[in-house]
Amino acid sequence: MPPRDVPGQLSGTLLLHGDHPVGAEVAPSISVTSTFRRPGPDGDPEGLGAMNPDRHVYSRYSQNVSSRVEEVLGKINHGHAITYASGLAGAFSALVHFKPKRIAVFPGGYMGCHGAMDVYLKGRFENTPIIHLDDEYQEGDLCWLETPLNPTGESRDIQYYADK
């Protein structure tokens, strides 16, 4: 008798084929493209939604690999997932989404994330101070925890900062 799935346990089938309705292949083509062919000049724009598109138009909106990854991650996490073309795009998006009153961060670390914070802060109308990661937090603060710290490799206790 095969073992039964344990609630909360990841299914190997789900990990490999959780995106089956999005694509029939086991894995998407490894070719990379930025634009896709439109059905025709009078083609129907139906099916071009940002969430689960039937076909792709431009890779900044969707493409085979990211759409399939998002589908599988969404099933694993029992929700919706979004992927970004780069870590910096994801970092900047997190700042825009959370709109922190202050940002708690350790000095140093990955310069790209600090650069994304600088760009974000320049676009804010309100003063958004940067505080040290180990300072006391207030409501509305965003804890920006990089662990292990790039490039030095120090690790921090994630649970400690989550409980702060």
Averaged pLDDT in 10-residue chunks for the chain of 164 residues = 56 69 63 60 58 60 76 87 88 96 92 93 92 96 92 91 92
Q: What is the DSSP letter of 127?
A: -
Query: Structure pTM?
Result: 0.67
pLDDT at position 152 is: 85
pLDDT at position 1 is: 47
pLDDT at position 109 is: 83
What span, in angstroms and rounded, lies between the C-alpha atoms of 63 and 55? 8
- Peptide bond between residue 151 and the one before it cis (omega within 30 degrees of 0): yes
Bridge partners of 105, per DSSP, are: 132, 144
Q: Name the residue among 134, 136, 140, 138 with its Cα closest to residue 154.
A: 134
Distance of CA 155 to the CA centre of its chain: 22
Scanning the structure block, which residue is given the tokens 């292990």?
Answer: 148
